[in-house]
Structure 1
Amino acid sequence: MPSQDTRTLLQSAVPTAAVGAIVAVISGVVAGGKGAIGAVVGTVVVIAFMGLGMYALQRTAKSLPQLFQAMGMMLYVAQLLLLLIFVGLFKDTDLFNPKTFALALVIATVVWMIGQARAHMKAKILYVEPDSDNSDKPEKSGSSQ
């Protein structure tokens, strides 16, 4: 992963993990040990889904740059649908508190997206390649009138 991608990943994952820890502590106080476990599981699921999605998107950008935007849109829809499926699958579980799990999923997803948007806005990515050598300039074509 190039350094810019790693920076974006860190600027998204670290705040998500920090907010997930806060949600886990609050859930532990409010709903007990199962509440804390639900919040931790929800946060880990979001970090894993979003991190893997970012990795897949970067691989697509390298191999098929013409599909980058469409892949990004499809990826975010797929991630949100998978998170919704996870909430549905674990709504009746006894392993952890499903309400804190769902709450942590929502909060962690929002924090991830905010972190990713902030990282992208602060990134200094050139969108025009600077000329390194003036001798490679194409000459004017057409009439010289």
Structure 2
Amino acid sequence: MQSNDARIIRGAAIPTAAVGVLATAVGAGVAGVDGASGVAFGVLVAAAFFGGGLLSLGYVGRRWPDLFFGAAFLIYTTQMGILLVLLLLLRDASFLNGRAFAAGVLAGLATWLAGQVRAHLRLKTLYVEPERASVSAGDRS
């Protein structure tokens, strides 16, 4: 993993975890144990989906940079398909509150995206490769 990828993931995961703890406490206060488990699971699903997508895209970008946009589309559609299957499986789950789960997914999604945008804006990305140290200004002809 490149250091830029690690900074972006860290910049999104830390705020998402903090909001997840706060949202879980609110879910517990509003809907009890079912609400807390629903919110916590929702935030975890959002963080896992976005984190997994970023890790996958980082791998593809390093290994096959010419396939980056196609891979991004494939990863996104795969994530949405997995999310659909997960939502269908959890439709009648008695161990979590459905509204709390949805609130947790939305809270995790919004926080992850805000943290990722903030990390991208703070990241100093080189647009041009710097010259090697062995080539000095006087050696250029």
User: Do they superpose with TM above 0.5?
Assistant: yes
Q: Tell me the distance in 1 between the aligned counterparts of 2:45 and 2:71.
A: 21
Aligned amino acid, residue 49 of structure 1: F
Match of 2:65 in 1: 65
Aligned amino acid, residue 40 of structure 2: V
Q: Tell me the distance in 2 between the aligned counterparts of 1:97 and 1:14.
A: 25
Q: Tell me the distance in 2 between the aligned counterparts of 1:135 and 1:63.
A: 36
Q: How many residues align?
A: 138
Larger Rg belongs to: 1
Q: Tell me the distance in 1 between the aligned counterparts of 2:29 and 2:66.
A: 49
Aligned amino acid, residue 39 of structure 2: A
Alpha-carbon offset, residue 32 of structure 1: 0.7
Q: Tell me the distance in 1 between the aligned counterparts of 2:9 and 2:109.
A: 14
Q: Percent identity?
A: 36
Alpha-carbon offset, residue 14 of structure 1: 0.8
Question: Residues 47-100 of structure 1: CA distance to partner in whole angstroms, max 9, x if unpaired?
Answer: 222222111111101111112233224433433443344233212110111111
TM-score (norm 2): 0.85
Runs of 4 or more consecutive aligned structure 1 residues displaced over 6 Å after TM superposition: none
* Structure 1 unaligned blocks of 5 or more: 140-145
Match of 1:143 in 2: none
Aligned pairs (5 A) from 1:1-145 = 1-132=1-132, 133=135
Q: Tell me the distance in 2 between the aligned counterparts of 1:85 and 1:119.
A: 31
Residue 106 to residue 88, structure 1, CA distance change in 2 (3 Å)? farther
Contact 1:87/1:102 (<8 A) preserved: no
Residue 93 to residue 136, structure 1, CA distance change in 2 (3 Å)? farther
Alignment root-mean-square deviation, CA:
2.1
TM-score (norm 1): 0.83
Q: Tell me the distance in 2 between the aligned counterparts of 1:120 and 1:81.
A: 27
Q: Tell me the distance in 1 between the aligned counterparts of 2:139 and 2:51.
A: 40
